[in-house]
Amino acid sequence: MKLAFIFPGQGSQEVGMGRELADSDERARRVFEEADAALEENLSAICFEGPEEALKLTANTQPAILTTSIAALRVLQGRIPSPDFVAGHSLGEYSALVAAGCLRFDDAVRLVRSRGEFMQEAVPAGVGAMAAILGCDAASVEEICREASAHGVCSPANINTPSQTVIAGQREAVEHAVQLARERGARKTVMLAVSAPFHCELMQPAAERLTPLLDAIEFSDLDAPIVTNCDAEIVATGAEARRALVKQVASAVRWSDSVRKLLEAGVTHFVEIGPGKVLSGLVKQISRECKILNVGNSASLAATLEAFP
C-alpha cells in the first residue's frame, strides 16, 4: 500500500466546517486557536458560525479552509500510517506543505491570508471571470481558449479531470470560450460565481506581491514529497516547494496530471483531509482502481480509521 494525503482548495468551504472536530477533540481546537492568534482575529467564528458572506471572501476563505484541513489532519495523525506523498489543489498545496513538515502552520495561515487578498486585488471586480467546461478533453479546451484569446486573456485554470477543465481570464474572452465549447459539443458549461479569475496571467501582480513574503519564510525539506500543482512533478526540497507556490498563482492547476503522477508512483490509497469531498470525486473520475477516503468530520474520521486497522 502507498498512501497520499490530499487537501482541498477554494470552493470546499461551508459554514460550520471544523466545528464538530473542534468541539470533540483538543488537537483540532488548538489549531483553530493558533489560527486566531496568528491572524489576530476570530477566524474560527467565521468557520463555525459564518455568516456565509464573510466566509466567501477570498481573504477569509483561504485561511479558513487551510485551518479546517490542518485541524482534521491533527486529529488523524498517528492513527493511520504516515503518507508516502502529499498534494493539494491550489491553496490546498499550503495545507499539504504543512502536513509534510515544510511550512509552520502559523506561517502558512498568514501567507494564505495575504495570498487571498493579493489575488482578490489583482483584477478589478467584474473584469475577470471563470467557467467550468465539462465533457471536453483538455486539449480541445486549450484550443478553444487560444481562439477566445482574440477577445482578451483566456486560458485553462484548473485541469481537474480528463473531461473537466475550469478556464479563467477576462470576462468577454471567457464568455466567448464558453460559447465555442457549447458549439463543439461540451456536455455542460457553467459560469462560476467567483470573485476573481484565479490561476491565469491576470494573477501575475498577485504572484509578484506574494514572492517577498514567501522568501521571508523558512521552508524545510519535506518529510513526504509533494506533487506540485503547476508542473505535476514530485519535489522534496523546501526551495522547490517555495518556487512552486510562486508559480502556481498565475499558472494552471494540473490536478488530473498530479493524480496520474501519484498513481504512477504506486499510490493505492488517497485520503482527502479537510472540508467537503470535491477532490475525492475528481480522483474517482481519474481512476476507479484506488481506494479513496476523506476526513472532514467525526463520521468520516471514524470511517477512515476503520479502513486502516
Active site amino acids: 90, 199
Strand partners, 291: 269
Residue 51: cis peptide before it, omega within 30 degrees of 0 = yes
Report yes or no: 62 and 92 within 8 Å, Cβ to Cβ.
no
Which strands make up the sheet holding 128-134, listed edge to edge? 154-161, 164-170, 128-134, 188-191
DSSP state of 69: H
- Set of cell numbers at residue 292: 479513496
Q: Alpha carbon of 174 to those of 14, 66, 137, 171, 201: distances in Å?
A: 27, 29, 17, 5, 13
In sequence order, which residues have a C-beta less than 8 Å from that of residue 140 and are 6 or more positions away? 184
DSSP state of 193: -
229 vs 252: CA distance, rounded Å: 8
| Matching residue, cell 490546498 | 92
- Determine which helix (DSSP H) or strand (DSSP E) holds 170, and give its type and residue range: strand 164-170
Report yes or no: 285 and 56 within 8 Å, Cβ to Cβ.
no
